[in-house]
A and B are shown apart, each in its own frame.
Chain A
Amino acid sequence: MNEPTVRIQKIRKDTVKTRLIVFGALALLLLVCSIFSEHLTPYDPYLQDLTNVKAPPSAEHLFGTDRYGRDMLSRVIVGSRTSIYSTLLLVGIVTALGTMIGVFCGWHGKWIDTVLMRISDMFLAFPGLVFAMAVAGVLGGGLQNAIIALVAISWPKYARIARSQTLAQKETSYLKAARLSGSGTWKIIFKHILPNIIGPILVTSMLDIGTMMMELAGLSFLGLGAKPPTAEWGSMMSDTRSLLSTVPWVTLAPGFAIFVSVMIFNLLGDTIRDYADPKSRGR
């Protein structure tokens, strides 16, 4: 390889690494904030102060107060815990479930593969959020049911990636060698298949964090997710949407929080994808 190409590669690698550190740190900060959210709030997020309702942003209340006089900044901070943790839980469940189904289909093949993949086709053919609304509607509101609904519509994507990767792995000589070495199905799956396919799946799930957060907030906004008075960004926006023209800060504060965290997780996902791309790794 000639000199300039090497340099470009090195520069590219360095920027990717810097981005990874920056966005990783931001995401970590967000997580730490949400863990300790209760200790970071300037006021009690559930304390109503009817003498000071709908107060505009001021030095005392940075994001103003809502119609019950609750401090918006405190509510947004506390809401981060529900929003971020339920999103991570959701992404974790979807990734694990989808990967399990996909690997199983790819490895086993035959009729089970056909049946499960046709089911996943059916799920993919439905407009996702509409289906999630239907599921959440049938199960009733609540954060738990919203998560179940979103898991039900999101697993096929992961199952497909895991399946195609598993099929590719199955054709490799080392997997044949592993079978000839007398390793059982579980050992082969956990020792050889999963470590080799987990990269692209993790990248997909990182990229999905932002989308999932929006969808969860969307369901909450529609009243199918977290129930008041629980502070959750989506339901906070929903509660206050009638006040948008008169007291905009009560809607904009949680909206801004969603915007910032979705962006951080999206950028982190992009960066991890770039980083995982072997072409950007100098070797």
Chain B
Amino acid sequence: MDQPILETDVVIIGGGVTGAAIVRELSRYQLRMVLVEKGGELSAGQTKVSLGNIYTGLNLVGSMILKSVLLPPGTPLTELYHRNTLHTKWCEEGFKEWESVLTELDIKHRYVPLTIIAQGDNQIKNLEKIRDLGRQLGGRYADFEQIGREEIFTRESNVNPEVRTALYAARHVIDIFPPEVAIALVENAVENGCRFLLNAEVVGISQSGLHQIVHTRRGSIKTNFIVNAACGWGDKICDMAGGGRDWGLQYKKTVMIILDTRCKGLVHGMVRWPNVPGRLDLVQRREDNILIECGTYDPTDHPDDTYTIREDVIKSMTVAKTLIPSLSEKDIINTFTGVRVFNTRNVEDHIVEFHPANKRFLNVIIRLPGIIGTLPMARHVAGMLEEAGCKLIRKNDFCPHRTAIPRFRDLSDDMRNRMIRDDSRYGHVVCRCETVTEGQIVEAIRRGASTEEGIRMRTRAGMGRCKGGFCGPRVVKILARELNIAVEEVKKRSLDSPLLLCKSKELLLRSEKGIA
């Protein structure tokens, strides 16, 4: 057997938001820990392609109706709400907690108003369903108002002119960028002494006396406990630890579209049609862009089926234009496909339990919405580990604060000048569309980014309308320089996604030799 590269108390498998929240929570304690991620960057799987708002109240009610596609037809409204599921508990608790933790972790966020609009009679019926369920549930769920046409157009002036009524909640949706949440959580854990390994796909788990060995592509790790936060790949990881699983996973895919910042004035917050089972139709501001998700959740067999189908994009745009008629295909700057994961045992809830055959292997399979409930979830996981014998001794020097990479674009000129005086690389703007400087890119690399996509997610360089037309080659060269690797070794994403295949003249010299 190969020599372990690390010895830990806990290995967390999966660098999405779930694994990130767990590693951050556990970093409060004196534990040796490592987070392993199969991708070339954190947040490489479902988190990256999630819609990923942090929301509550009215939007949560909407989601309850949406998910009713997974229930038998004719299920009564109140049946959609299960106060006692982990899922509901954590969503309710989690939203409140995020309101302060977003600031603690310096995650860029903004409350955006939610407007659920209705035009036809059927839509009004569906809207009333959401309204009634919200009012029945009370509390934050009922904290919205129903508004008429005039009021709608003063708040969201570009919506479909035919709308008749709307439900409006000012502070039920927090717009965030999902990868930043995962990255921020891990960065804070790193500050508190944890490690993470990228490109470390788990290929096997074995037992060795009192310990377990997690075999990864980057070497083996000897550990006491394992947390399986591999989301869509969680079933395969679970099986590596032994048989006896009574749940499976099912995957649903949905296409999302990003529009140019030039359209940002068209929507102030999230605008959606009332949910009908299985359909989500919304247009929202995502920072300065517009994000569209209009469509059904289509079943797929693979957690990595992020294959985007052109026809779905076209259909989605058509529906989006029924919400905001002035949207245009011309403004599309990105399209991608999200994969949502549900377990087959209880689609309503998460799976957070020890492996039936291995009491030191904890499955944490979270259903959507994944981000809202992560903080209470992580505390719950810590508690379970403690019960199972993992000693949790609080660190005295745990620091809950993380500082983001400076967002040059959002700073005043005075602040910018101060930064440039300290480090002139902050004066070198590499990405024009998103105003990202060399200083930010270098800092992202220092924090662990090692791929083009990593730089994109951590700094936004290349995320704008020109998609790296100017900054692309420059970012790759900075990566090569800072990581001290050859330019052709820089990857887009994972180890098998090289950007450049050879040096100039190499093919000519090779063919010459071939002939000779």
B is a partner of A: no
Residues of A at the B interface (CB closer than 8 Å) are: none
